[in-house]
Structure 1
Amino acid sequence: MENVENSAFDMSIVKAYLDNIFSPLATNPQHSVDWQHICNLFKQVVPLLDENAIDEIIGATALHPVPEVRKRMIEVFTPQIDQFPSVQQLLIWCMRDTDEQVALHAIRACASSNSSVFWPELYALLGRDASRVQANQELATMGLREAAARQVLRDVYERGLLSDFEELDPYLAKGTGDNILILKHEVDATDMVYIEAGPFISGLPILYKGVSWFAVDDLFPESTIDLKAFYIDKDPVTNEDYDLFCDQIEENGHLWCHPDETPGKDHRRSTLGDVRVEKNHPVCGVDWYDAFAYASWQGKSLPTALQWEKAARGSNGYLYPWGNNYDSVHVNDADRVYNCEFKSLEALLEAQSSFSSEEPQHFTLSIDELSGNTSPYGVHGMIGNVWEWTRSNYLNNTDIIPHFRALEPAIAMEDWSSWVVVKGGAWSSKAELLLPAYRGRRHLLFRSPDVGFRCVYEA
């Protein structure tokens, strides 16, 4: 295949090529392959194929278990984005990929097309909120793929191609589901911190002016809330801890998984093999179902947003775990990771949306670093480094009740109850978001390199 002649290939050759290149890799996702070389070969082959052959390769790409394959093939097919509807459907599919880097590649590819077919899909990634496209100075916190989608839609909007977002805003269905079940076993609380019962100060004063770039919609007004006693992990779950859990899943099956989980789910984190994360770094690249299953394996659960906030702020409601004055020395944030001080929201969003396997050159830090990032209760690393999953529904702050078994992300996203509160900010966040009171949000099916978790135990 090194020298590609200028003639159309028949389907038998295409199928043979897929069998020789894709099938062996599908059975061994860790197989060492020069993906750039494969990508270059496909770039020569694809322009010579008819639509049936294109569809055949696209089908193999969309269902391939190796994220790097899906990512590289997006690059191959981008030049045909306005020629074949199947290419457009591949990009829409990949926008909702559980691997963040695949989704980012798909979103960037859409920027090369003026086709309106992508607009509703990009809009859905923003939670169907026009203000998240149009806002200049105030914008609620975004994940990496949300930032990329916002950049594409903003360009469409500023060029006058789309003026009315209502046409992209269909009715959002609400559903119901079964109660969450947890498989209990003996809990080891050695590395957990006891949070006593009683009141604590949640939220922020109405007149608080600390969040300048971002809307305050995700900050609840200050109030005093009474909680029952609970234990919380002293440190976030690490990559090493999580990988051990995945070994147990392979050995024992899905004993600890949520009943709503897609059958046969692969729990391996999307950051496995990324040299920028090490075994003692907080785990990232896991979705909500991954975090739930790990917590259940430990006989624990994910914290509510309020439990997490109390553990981070103490009973007196400190603004930050260490006190009321922000100190960048204690955190791993975007300025530290990108080695610059972001002066504008646009610069931050540009950096977030350009995340790749090469940039930034590092992101998470060890859980042993930044010792000053400790709450009044002695809980470590609660802001910066990674956002942390909770079990609270973003829509109403109640416990989430998933009911999305076997649904594609594109369908599940239409239901607002599929969005979950995340807390604490991450390596991709500015200081304005590194407030324990702040509520971020993530879709429960997405794996992002800036989201991890820790567990609680309610005796």
Structure 2
Amino acid sequence: MPPTVSRWTGKEARALRDAKRVSQVEFAAELGVSERMIVRWEKGNVIPRPINQQGLDTILSACSPDVQARFAEMIGLTSPATSAQDPGVSSEQLASPQSEPDVPVGDEDQVRHPVDGKLMTLVPAGVYFAGENNEPVYLPAFYIDVFPTTNADYARFVAATDYKPPQHWENGDIPEGLENHPVVFVTWHDAHAYAQWSAKTLPSAQQWEKAARGTRGEIYPWGNQRTPPKVNCREGGKRTTTPVDCYASGVSPYGVYDMCGNTWDWCSTETEPGRHELKGSAFTSPFLRCAPSTFNDAAADMLDDDTGFRCATPAETMRALRNVRGQSAT
């Protein structure tokens, strides 16, 4: 077990940042608070709120054994027997959990995936506040598609694999004018097949939600304001899908489109055998259902005119793919 802190103060927060060897800006981004808040903690003026206490706990538990050992040494705790040295800290012997990189992979936040060519954006490693109760959750770094999978994207997959096209494509052709609309009438199995072909995965529900909400626990991608015109939902009266780049004012903190409205996205998270989570709401949904924390799921063989998907990939996998492609081109 990693060292545990019964009550975080500025001293322990500073020690954790120093142990991770990151700046105040990087530490604030990972924790989902402002840089000013980190400065106030470290000056000793503010005790972190309970929700940030939880976030610090989560970051510490996700650190590599080396970082945990440095942290323990910095706060004067080098073994279980010395835990009494600091009344704010208790410890059990350090374990060796599988660690993940805590820093972004690569120099660019947005890249083109080398297989399907879709634009993807980096969601850095760190804590975000998940669900309706804003529970702190740590996720490793990953990339996610900026736009949902479009009909044009899916057509390339169909052509490359001879996969069955969606049922509403007459004679296997995209309906006229819908090339840049999200593909629909796809089951979870169809979405998974595309993800495998493109050397990606479907995002987990937690990855999807972090990409939609950012790290600060805001209700919608753009903040906490109830603004139905920012999304393609039932109140907008469109009654069908819209181009995936249509709602620029509703993008997430990472620049991801259509995380509310237009179409539900399939996720990899299985809720029970044969059922998977759906995220994001759709043009058929009332705005009350548009919050990214909203739960929905469906049978894996369900398909409808308001359900599509986008893909994700771990940051390490993206780096490896780009390296392989770069070597092949030389």
Q: TM-score, normalised by structure 2?
A: 0.57
1:107-146 to 2 correspondences below 5 Å: none
Give the gaps of 5 or more residues in structure 1: 1-184, 205-220, 251-265, 339-361, 396-416
SS in 1 for 2:266: strand
Residue 422 (structure 1) aligned with residue 262 (structure 2): no
- CA displacement at 1:277 relative to structure 2: 6.9
Query: Could you tell me which of 168, 171, 181 is aligned with 1:271?
Result: 168
Query: Could you tell me which of 260, 264, 268 is aligned with 1:391?
Result: 268
Residue 309 (structure 1) aligned with residue 209 (structure 2): yes
Q: Deviations over 1:402-453 (max 9, x none)?
A: xxxxxxxxxxxxxxx1111000000110011101001211111121111000
Query: Could you tell me which of 153, 159, 163 is aligned with 1:241?
Result: 153
- CA displacement at 1:187 relative to structure 2: 4.8
Query: Could you tell me which of 216, 234, 240 is aligned with 1:363?
Result: 240
SS in 1 for 2:247: coil
SS in 1 for 2:202: coil
| Contact 1:276/1:363, CA 8 A, preserved across alignment | no
- CA displacement at 1:337 relative to structure 2: 3.1
Query: Could you tell me which of 211, 217, 231 is aligned with 1:331?
Result: 231
Cα distance in 1 for partners of 2:283, 2:134 equals: 26
- CA displacement at 1:296 relative to structure 2: 1.2
Q: Deviations over 1:231-285 (max 9, x none)?
A: 00011010111011111112xxxxxxxxxxxxxxx53112324858711001111
SS in 2 for 1:372: helix
Residue 452 (structure 1) aligned with residue 329 (structure 2): no
Query: Could you tell me which of 206, 228, 236 is aligned with 2:140?
Result: 228
SS in 1 for 2:149: coil
Cα distance in 2 for partners of 1:365, 1:190 equals: 18
| Contact 1:186/1:299, CA 8 A, preserved across alignment | no
Cα distance in 2 for partners of 1:249, 1:189 equals: 16
Q: TM-score, normalised by structure 1?
A: 0.42
Cα distance in 1 for partners of 2:289, 2:187 equals: 21
Q: 1:288 to 1:431 in 2, by over 3 A?
A: same
Query: Could you tell me which of 188, 195, 199 is aligned with 2:127?
Result: 199
- In the alignment, which residue of structure 2 is the partner of 1:373? 250
- CA displacement at 1:367 relative to structure 2: 1.0
Q: 1:271 to 1:326 in 2, by over 3 A?
A: farther
Cα distance in 2 for partners of 1:248, 1:189 equals: 14
Cα distance in 2 for partners of 1:310, 1:228 equals: 11
SS in 1 for 2:237: helix
Amino acid at match of 1:334: R
Q: 1:367 to 1:238 in 2, by over 3 A?
A: same
Amino acid at match of 1:304: S
| Contact 1:285/1:452, CA 8 A, preserved across alignment | yes
Identical aligned residues as a percent = 37
Cα distance in 2 for partners of 1:293, 1:226 equals: 28
Cα distance in 2 for partners of 1:239, 1:275 equals: 9
Q: Deviations over 1:106-147 (max 9, x none)?
A: xxxxxxxxxxxxxxxxxxxxxxxxxxxxxxxxxxxxxxxxxx
Cα distance in 1 for partners of 2:134, 2:294 equals: 12
SS in 2 for 1:301: coil
Please give the root-mean-square deviation of Cα atoms over the aligned residues, in Å. 2.0
Query: Could you tell me which of 431, 441, 457 is aligned with 2:287?
Result: 431
Deviating beyond 4 angstroms after TM superposition, the runs of 4 or more aligned structure 1 residues are 185-190, 274-277
Aligned length: 200
Cα distance in 1 for partners of 2:237, 2:123 equals: 32
Query: Could you tell me which of 282, 293, 315 is aligned with 2:182?
Result: 282
Q: 1:246 to 1:190 in 2, by over 3 A?
A: closer
- CA displacement at 1:186 relative to structure 2: 5.4
Amino acid at match of 2:243: S
Q: Deviations over 1:15-44 (max 9, x none)?
A: xxxxxxxxxxxxxxxxxxxxxxxxxxxxxx
